[in-house]
Amino acid sequence: MKRLAIVGGAGRMGQALARGLAARDEFAVVALIDEHPIAPLAGAICASDVSALDPSTVDVVIDFSSPRGVLASASWCSAHAVALVVGTTGLTDEHWSALEAAGQRVGVVVAANFAIGAVLAERFAAMAAPYFERVEIIELHHEQKVDAPSGTAIATARAIAGARRAKGRAPIEDPTTRFSVEGARGADVEDGVKVHSVRLSGLVAHQEVLFGSPGEGLTIRHDSYDRESFLPGVAIAVAHVSATTPELLRGIDSLL
């Protein structure tokens, strides 16, 4: 049985993970970490900082907190030989450097989206990308998501751009030359693949990839209606990762 500590345990995602993972026989949630007040979970300690953990009682730290929290988690896990699973987005080069350093000492899995359907949708989009002239991405999330575009949209755009380059397709050129409002055409993530971000109350996590060529179109859409959708992917990552197998695995695509 793997013993888990969840950083960001007071948040809606952290609470959903705590309940869902604790209900599985192969896991025990032993700690919830958050700087905000935490709703208690039977059998788990609550603390405000990862440094309060006893490393002998934890096998995997799961971080769904903030980029600043990821730095602390990566440092602590590396120093104490504890594996790490990260679902926090909005990471900069500084955060990735810390995760890469941790991955040289312990197992680390980082994913922008743990929903199985979202992972498959990204794979399908990369498969379709070379065969259409144009593609744009619309990502829709709840109003409390502070970063844009989403990590999922960025990963999808880069997968699409890479698949197009591999087939010798040129970057996509935007035909728009006149802008009534700057930014109306979205953000160019890579090679002309545009992303449009929507933030609305009532949403959880949703993404559409729209392809177009003369006479036809293709839409690939994934919807997470509840945070429970991320649980199976997190469980797969936690089951895979190990403190005794140093690595930095980006995404869970290879684990499916």
Of 89-93, 108-112, 232-236, 238-242, the one with minimum mean pLDDT is 89-93
Q: What percent of the chain has pLDDT over 70?
A: 100
Pair 106, 82: CB distance under 8 Å:
yes
Q: For the domain that residue 47 is a member of, what is the CATH number? A: 3.40.50.720
Distances (CA, A) of 142 to 114, 150, 199: 17, 11, 5
Q: Are residues 120 and 83 in the same domain?
A: no
Q: Are residues 194 and 220 in the same domain?
A: yes
Cα gap 79→96, rounded to integer Å: 17
Exactly one of 80, 141, 206, 222 is catalytic; which is it?
141
Q: Is 196 a catalytic residue?
A: no
pLDDT exceeds cutoff 90 at 104: yes
What domain count does the chain have?
2
pLDDT exceeds cutoff 90 at 218: yes
Q: Are residues 37 and 94 in the same domain?
A: yes
Q: Are residues 238 and 207 in the same domain?
A: no
Name the average pLDDT for the chain.
95
Q: Are residues 142 and 205 in the same domain?
A: yes
Pair 160, 141: CB distance under 8 Å:
no
Exactly one of 2, 80, 142, 145 is catalytic; which is it?
145
Mean pLDDT across the stretch 78-96?
Answer: 94
186: confidence class by pLDDT, cuts 50, 70, 90: very high
96: confidence class by pLDDT, cuts 50, 70, 90: very high
Q: Are residues 183 and 138 in the same domain?
A: yes
Q: Are residues 10 and 93 in the same domain?
A: yes
172: confidence class by pLDDT, cuts 50, 70, 90: very high
Q: Are residues 100 and 148 in the same domain?
A: no
Where helices occur in 25-140 by DSSP H, the ranges are 67-80, 93-103, 116-128
pLDDT tens figures, 25-62: 999 999 999 999 898 888 899 999 999 999 999 999 99
Q: For the domain that residue 164 is a member of, what is the CATH number? A: 3.30.360.10
- Domain with 197, as residue range(s), is 116-225
Q: Are residues 221 and 232 in the same domain?
A: no
Distances (CA, A) of 206 to 190, 209, 225, 227: 21, 10, 8, 12
Distances (CA, A) of 110 to 37, 57, 64, 193, 238: 26, 22, 10, 23, 11
pLDDT exceeds cutoff 90 at 90: no
Q: Are residues 36 and 68 in the same domain?
A: yes
Q: Is 2 a catalytic residue?
A: no
What integer pLDDT is reported at residue 120 of this predicted model? 97
Q: Are residues 9 and 42 in the same domain?
A: yes
Q: Are residues 210 and 120 in the same domain?
A: yes
